[in-house]
């Protein structure tokens, strides 16, 4: 029997990023493999039956796998330099819930499973929720297999070198039929629960969000020998894009636009870049305003590029429309949890992808820093315990 804090402590140090701080755990890298193996060991130690599906998601079954199961879980990968809780808290709370239910003598009437989704953050191949998007067929399998990491390795190649068969990726009807309801527990990525002075919330909605790559191409050249008047420097429109993204998003209600990654090619101090890739993360409460942020920014970026004699190419890398979680399920779980408040979130989750297929809910655990995707992300041990107890209660209600 292990609580979430004890289980989380076992992951300490795995994938610790000494350069950036925090954790960098990316699908199929050494750290993420170690975490997957740890998960399988933990599941087997609980007599759960483990399988890896055709899309690299790992499942652990309490009893025989069957249709209409109650499923819980999250992910073990991280953003570059991320916190210890985003993802792992949902996985350790799921394992800990199994222990709590067993200790209470509970036997599920429905099949119950814990799942670990692959590449939730898109930290290696660029598309977030890749495992759940593949499972549900919301990304084309050929496109997914051809996604490249920064060193040029494709998702298919990475999968093959981890011993899996990339020929089978794509919508998995049998696995989907086995999911009756899905509940994901997650550290809160904001200040909602601090303000409400509560340890646990249920999720109401997820913002519409997506990622776009803006590639500005100019002329690589010598930083000293090239007159300012002779330059076609793609770093200029790239920089203007960063400022314009903030300006446009600030004018949209609930709008957010972020450039968290900008890569000049070739990237030398004394080299005018030949091209700059700028990744935009844009979000807002709806499809229309999110699309309008990107359209307005694309228009502005084309002008910035032209003024510097550069070319622009814009590619949509991923998109997910607004998610409203199943209201009946949300209210039922809130009622079970002393009327836990319902909070919206700006963060994407595998639960958001699954919500289009099956009744889905999320539980959030208070984060006293309000910070996420950074090493300062936190949850107090008592709140992690409250979260695991809350999850166990929900699972008992749904599977009992």
Tell me: is residue 283 an annotated ligand-binding position: yes
CB of 194 to ligand GLV, least distance (A): 19
Contacts with ligand GLV: how many residues (CB under 6 A)? Answer: 4
Q: What one-character DSSP code corresponds to residue 341? A: P
Tokens of 211: 């990622």
Q: Tell me which of Mn ion, ligand GLV, none is bound by residue 87, counting a contact when its beta carbon lies within the kind-specific cut-off of 5 to 8 angstroms.
A: Mn ion
Among the listed residues 210, 348, 359, 387, the single contact to ligand GLV using CB under 6 A: 348
Q: Tell me which of ligand GLV, Mn ion, none is bound by residue 112, counting a contact when its beta carbon lies within the kind-specific cut-off of 5 to 8 angstroms.
A: none
Backbone angles phi, psi at 314, to 5 degrees: -115, 130
Is residue 185 at the binding interface for ligand GLV, with CB under 6 A as the rule? Answer: no
The DSSP bridge partners found for residue 117 are 75
Which stretch, 6-14, 16-24, 82-90, 289-297, contacts Mn ion (CB under 5 A)? 82-90
Among the listed residues 32, 86, 188, 281, the single contact to Mn ion using CB under 5 A: 86
Q: 343: Cβ–Cβ under 8 A, 6 or more apart, which residues?
A: 188, 190, 192, 193, 201, 202, 203, 204, 364
Helix (H) or strand (E) holding 277: strand 275-284
Distance in angstroms (rounded) separating the CA atoms of residues 340 and 315: 40
DSSP E strands, 208-255:
208-217, 221-222
Q: Tell me which of Mn ion, ligand GLV, none is bound by residue 348, counting a contact when its beta carbon lies within the kind-specific cut-off of 5 to 8 angstroms.
A: ligand GLV
Q: Residue 186 in 3-state DSSP?
A: strand
CB of 135 to Mn ion, least distance (A): 16
Tokens of 40: 């399988």
Q: Tell me which of Mn ion, ligand GLV, none is bound by residue 184, counting a contact when its beta carbon lies within the kind-specific cut-off of 5 to 8 angstroms.
A: none
Q: x/- contact string, 32-71, with Mn ion (CB under 5 A)? A: ----------------------------------------
The tally of CA atoms less than 13 A away on the side-chain side of residue 370 is 8
Is residue 119 at the binding interface for Mn ion, with CB under 5 A as the rule? Answer: no
Instruction: Specify binding-site residues for Zn(2+).
Output: 75, 86, 121, 186, 373
């Amino acid at each position: 029997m292990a609580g979430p804090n004890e289980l989380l402590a076992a992951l300490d140090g795995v994938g610790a990023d000494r350069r950036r701080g925090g954790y960098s755990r990316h699908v199929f890298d050494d750290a993420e493999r170690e975490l997957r193996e740890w998960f399988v060991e933990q599941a087997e130690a609980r007599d759960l039956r483990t399988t890896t599906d055709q899309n690299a998601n790992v499942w652990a079954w309490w009893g025989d796998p069957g249709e209409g199961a109650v499923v819980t879980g999250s992910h073990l990968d991280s953003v570059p330099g991320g916190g210890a809780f985003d993802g792992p808290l949902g996985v350790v709370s799921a394992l800990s819930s199994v222990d709590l239910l067993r200790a209470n003598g509970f036997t599920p009437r429905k099949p119950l499973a814990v799942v670990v989704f692959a590449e939730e953050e898109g930290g290696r191949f660029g598309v977030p929720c890749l495992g759940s998007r593949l499972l549900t067929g919301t990304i084309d399998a050929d496109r997914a297999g051809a996604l490249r990491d920064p060193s040029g390795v494709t998702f298919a190649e990475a999968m093959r070198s981890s011993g899996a068969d990339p020929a089978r990726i794509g919508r998995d009807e049998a696995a989907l039929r086995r999911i009756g309801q899905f509940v994901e527990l997650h550290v809160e990525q904001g200040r909602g629960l601090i303000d409400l002075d509560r340890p646990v919330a249920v999720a109401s909605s997820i913002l519409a969000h997506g990622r776009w790559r803006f590639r500005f191409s100019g002329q690589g050249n010598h930083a000293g020998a090239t007159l300012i008047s002779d330059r076609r420097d793609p770093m200029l429109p790239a920089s203007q894009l960063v400022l314009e993204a903030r300006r446009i998003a600030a004018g949209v209600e609930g709008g957010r636009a972020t450039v968290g990654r900008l890569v000049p090619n070739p990237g030398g101090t004394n080299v005018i870049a030949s091209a700059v890739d700028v990744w935009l993360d844009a979000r807002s409460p709806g499809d229309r305003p999110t699309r309008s942020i990107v359209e307005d920014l694309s228009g502005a970026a084309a002008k910035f590029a032209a003024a510097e004699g550069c070319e622009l190419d814009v590619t949509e890398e991923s998109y997910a429309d607004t998610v409203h979680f199943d209201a009946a399920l949300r209210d039922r779980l809130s009622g079970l949890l002393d009327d836990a408040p319902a909070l919206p979130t700006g963060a994407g989750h595998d639960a958001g992808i699954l919500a289009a297929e099956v009744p889905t809910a999320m539980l959030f655990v208070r984060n006293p820093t309000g910070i996420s995707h950074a090493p300062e992300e936190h949850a107090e041990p008592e709140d992690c315990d409250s979260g695991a107890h809350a999850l166990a209660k929900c699972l008992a209600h749904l599977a009992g």
